[in-house]
Amino acid sequence: MLKDILNWLEDTPLAIMISHGPFGFPALEMVHVTATTFVFGMIAIIDLRLLGLLARNAAVSDLYRDVVPVTWVAFMVAAISGCLLFTAQAHAYSVNFAFRMKFVVLALIGLNMLVFRFLIYPSIAKWDRDAKPPLAARLAGAVSLAGWMTVVASARWIAYLMI
Q: Which residues, 6 or more positions from 149, have their beta carbon under 8 angstroms from its beta carbon?
A: none
- Is the pLDDT assigned to residue 163 strictly greater than 80? no
Instruction: Give the mean model confidence (pLDDT) for residues 56-76.
Output: 94
| Euclidean distance between CA atoms 35 and 58, whole angstroms | 25
Tens of pLDDT along 93-114? Answer: 999 999 999 999 999 999 999 9
Name every residue whose Cβ is closer than 8 Å to that of residue 157 and which is 6 or more positions away in sequence: 98, 101
The amino acid at residue 4 is D
pLDDT band, very low/low/confident/very high, at 162 (cuts 50, 70, 90): confident
